[in-house]
Amino acid sequence: MCMKETVVKILGKVELEDPIMIEGLPGVGHVGKLVAEHLVEELDVEKIVEIYSPHFPPQVLVKDDFTVHLVKNEIYACKSEDKQDMLIVVGDHQSATNEGHYEISSIILDIAEEYSVKRIYTLGGYVTGQLDEKRTVLGAVNNIDLVEEMKGHGVEFKQNEPAGGIVGVSGLLLGIGELRSMDAVCLMGTTSGYLVDPKSAQAVLEVFSSVLDLQIDAQALEERAKDMERIIAKIVEMEQMQVQTDMGTDEDLRYIG
**Chain residues 120-149 in contact with a copy of itself, contact rule CB under 8 A:** 127-129, 139-144, 147
We find the least distance from the C-beta atom of residue 85 to a copy of itself, in angstroms, to be 25
We find the least distance from the C-beta atom of residue 60 to a copy of itself, in angstroms, to be 4
Burial group, residue 193, by CB count within 10 angstroms (0-12, 13-18, 19+) = middle
> Whole-angstrom Cα distance, residue 3 to residue 6?
7
> Whole-angstrom Cα distance, residue 250 to residue 179?
38
| Three-state DSSP class for residue 157 | coil
We find the least distance from the C-beta atom of residue 199 to a copy of itself, in angstroms, to be 15
**CB-wise, 43 or 96, nearer to a copy of itself?**
96
User: Where in 32-51 is the site for a copy of itself (CB under 8 A)?
Assistant: none
Cβ 91 vs Cβ 53: under 8 Å: no
User: Where in 152-191 is the site for a copy of itself (CB under 8 A)?
Assistant: 157-169, 171-172, 174-176, 178-180, 186
User: Where in 7-26 is the site for a copy of itself (CB under 8 A)?
Assistant: 9, 26
Cβ 191 vs Cβ 125: under 8 Å: yes
Residue 83 makes CB contacts below 8 A (sequence gap 6+) with 212, 213, 214
- 234 touches a copy of itself by CB under 8 A: yes
**CB-wise, 16 or 22, nearer to a copy of itself?**
22
User: Where in 48-107 is the site for a copy of itself (CB under 8 A)?
Assistant: 52, 54-71, 92-99, 101-103, 105-106
We find the least distance from the C-beta atom of residue 219 to a copy of itself, in angstroms, to be 23
CB atoms < 10 A from the CB of 63, how many?
9
Give the distance, in angstroms, between the CA of residue 146 and the centroid of all CA atoms in the same chain.
Answer: 21
We find the least distance from the C-beta atom of residue 124 to a copy of itself, in angstroms, to be 12
Residue count, binding to a copy of itself (CB under 8 A): 99
Cβ 242 vs Cβ 249: under 8 Å: yes
